[in-house]
Homo-oligomer: A and B are copies of this chain.
Amino acid sequence: MITLKEIAQICDVSISTVSNILNGKPNVSEETRQRVLEVVNQTGYKPNYFAQGIRKQKTKIIGIIVEDLNLFSTTPIVGAIMAYCEELDYRTILINMRLYDKWQDTWYNDEQKFNSVLQPSIKELLSIKVDGIVYVAGHCRVINCFPDDFKIPGIVVYGISNSPKFTSVVIDDKKGGYDITKYLISMGHRKIGVIAGTPDNLHTMRRILGYQKALFEEEILYNPDFVRYGDWMRPSGYREAESLIKEGVSAIFCMNDLMAVGLYDYLYEKGIQVGEDISVVGYDNKEISECIRPGLTTNEIQLEKIGQEAAKIMIKMLEEDYVASKSQEIIKIPCRLIIRESVKKNQ
C-alpha cells in the first residue's frame, strides 16, 4: 500500500506538503497541488485512518457495539447506521459481542458475564480512538453501558440507558400496544386476549400498558385473565391458545409474529378459521407474517428508522461540541400497523 512518504518522493516534495494538499490547506501553489493530486489519483492512495487517528483527536470513526449480529432486529439497524454515516463521510467499526451465540439467554441478568465482554469491547474502541459509540441491544432492557463520566458521546439503541446522560432510541412499545388494540376495538372486538412475551420484559410490559390504555379509553374493563405470558417462541403461542380461547375472546394480540404462528397452529388443528372465527394480530412484521395464511396483521418495527435516528443524533453530538453532562432524552420511534387478513370485523 502506497504511503504519504512515497507520494512525496515521487513528486519530489516533502511529506508535509502532500499532507497539506490532501487536507485542503490553502498555502500550496496550484502547480504542486495538481502534480501531487494526479499522483494520488493514479496510485489510488488511501490514508491510513487509524494512523490519522493516532495524531488527530477526531477520527470520524463511530464504533458500533452489537449484542448479537445474528438477530433479526440488529442487521437493519446497523445497516441504517452505516448508510447514514457513509452519507456524512463517517466510517464505522463494528464489534459483535455475540452474546446470544455464546450464552443464549443467560447473560442479560448476569452483569458479570455481560461486562466481561462489554468492557473490553468499549476499551478496544476507545484505544483506537473512535469519536463516539453506538450500542445496539438485542431487546429492550435498561442497560448499564457507559460510565457517567464517559469521555466521548455514547448512545443506546433498542435499549434504554440506565444513566440519563446518554440518549436512548427505542421503539414506542406503549403506543404500539395501544395502536394495535385500538385497531382491534375499531373492528368491533371487545374481548381481546393477549399472548404476551416474557413477563419481566420491557417490551411486554409497555405493550400491555398500551393495551390497557386503549381498553380504558373505550371503557372496556381490563380482564387479567385475558392476558397470558409466552416466551416469544412459537410453541408458547400454541400452548397459551386453548385456555385463552376458553375465555371467549374474539381477538388475540400476540406480542410477536412467531407466537402468532404458534397460535395459528393451534387454531388450524381445531379447525378454527383465523380472520373468520377469530381474529389475530402479531408484532414485528417478519417475513413469515405475510407468508402464513391468512396474512397476519401486525405492527412493523421500523428498524431502519431507529438506526438512522441513532446515527443522526450521534453525528449531531459529534459536530456540535458535545457536552457530556447534559441530560439526554429517550427517543421513541413509532411502529407501523400493517393490515392484512387476520382480523375480521366483529358484529
Query: A residues near B, CB below 8 A?
Result: 1, 44, 46-51, 53-54, 68-70, 75-76, 78-79, 82-83, 86, 93-94, 96, 98, 101, 119-120, 123-124, 126-129, 234, 261, 264, 268, 286-288, 291-293
Report chain B residues within 8 Å CB of A264: 293
Chain A at the B interface: mostly helix, strand, loop or mixed? helix
Interface centre among A69, A119, A127, A292, by most chain B C-beta atoms within 10 angstroms, is: A127
The contact of A50 among B53, B234, B288, by CB within 8 Å, is B53
Looking at the assembled complex, report how far the CB atom of A266 sits from the nearest CB atom of chain B, in whole angstroms.
12
Copy total for this chain: 2
With A and B bound together, what is the CA distance between A50 and B127 in angstroms? 9
Looking at the assembled complex, report how far the CB atom of A211 sits from the nearest CB atom of chain B, in whole angstroms.
25
Give 9 closest A-B pairs by Cβ, nearest first: A50-B50, A46-B123, A46-B127, A1-B126, A288-B291, A48-B127, A70-B79, A94-B94, A261-B291
The closest CB in chain B to the CB of A91 belongs to B124
Known contacts A46-B126, A69-B82, then 10 further A-B pairs from the complex at CB < 8 Å, ordered by chain A residue: A46-B123, A50-B50, A68-B79, A79-B101, A93-B94, A94-B94, A286-B287, A287-B287, A291-B292, A293-B293
With A and B bound together, what is the CA distance between A8 and B1 in angstroms? 33
Looking at the assembled complex, report how far the CB atom of A238 sits from the nearest CB atom of chain B, in whole angstroms.
12
Write 16 A-B pairs (CB below 8 A) sorted by A numbering: A1-B126, A1-B127, A1-B129, A44-B119, A46-B123, A48-B54, A50-B54, A54-B54, A68-B79, A70-B79, A82-B96, A94-B94, A261-B291, A288-B288, A291-B291, A292-B292
Contacts A48-B54, A50-B128 given; indicate if A79 touches B69 (C-beta within 8 A): yes
With A and B bound together, what is the CA distance between A44 and B98 in angstroms? 22
Report chain B residues within 8 Å CB of A93: 93-94
The contact of A123 among B44, B94, B288, by CB within 8 Å, is B44
Contact B86–A78 (Cβ < 8 Å)? no
Looking at the assembled complex, report how far the CB atom of A87 sits from the nearest CB atom of chain B, in whole angstroms.
11
Contact A98–B123 (Cβ < 8 Å)? no
Contact A75–B83 (Cβ < 8 Å)? no
With A and B bound together, what is the CA distance between A277 and B86 in angstroms? 52
With A and B bound together, what is the CA distance between A124 and B91 in angstroms? 11
Contacts A75-B75, A79-B101 given; indicate if A46 touches B96 (C-beta within 8 A): no
Report chain B residues within 8 Å CB of A1: 123, 126-127, 129
Looking at the assembled complex, report how far the CB atom of A154 sits from the nearest CB atom of chain B, in whole angstroms.
14
The contact of A76 among B54, B70, B83, B123, by CB within 8 Å, is B70
Report chain B residues within 8 Å CB of A123: 1, 44, 46
Contact B69–A75 (Cβ < 8 Å)? yes
The contact of A51 among B50, B75, B86, by CB within 8 Å, is B50
Contacts A126-B46, A286-B287, A291-B288 given; indicate if A83 touches B54 (C-beta within 8 A): no
Report chain B residues within 8 Å CB of A78: 69, 96
Contact B124–A98 (Cβ < 8 Å)? no
Report chain B residues within 8 Å CB of A268: 293
Looking at the assembled complex, report how far the CB atom of A276 sits from the nearest CB atom of chain B, in whole angstroms.
15
The contact of A98 among B68, B83, B287, by CB within 8 Å, is B83
Contact B49–A127 (Cβ < 8 Å)? yes
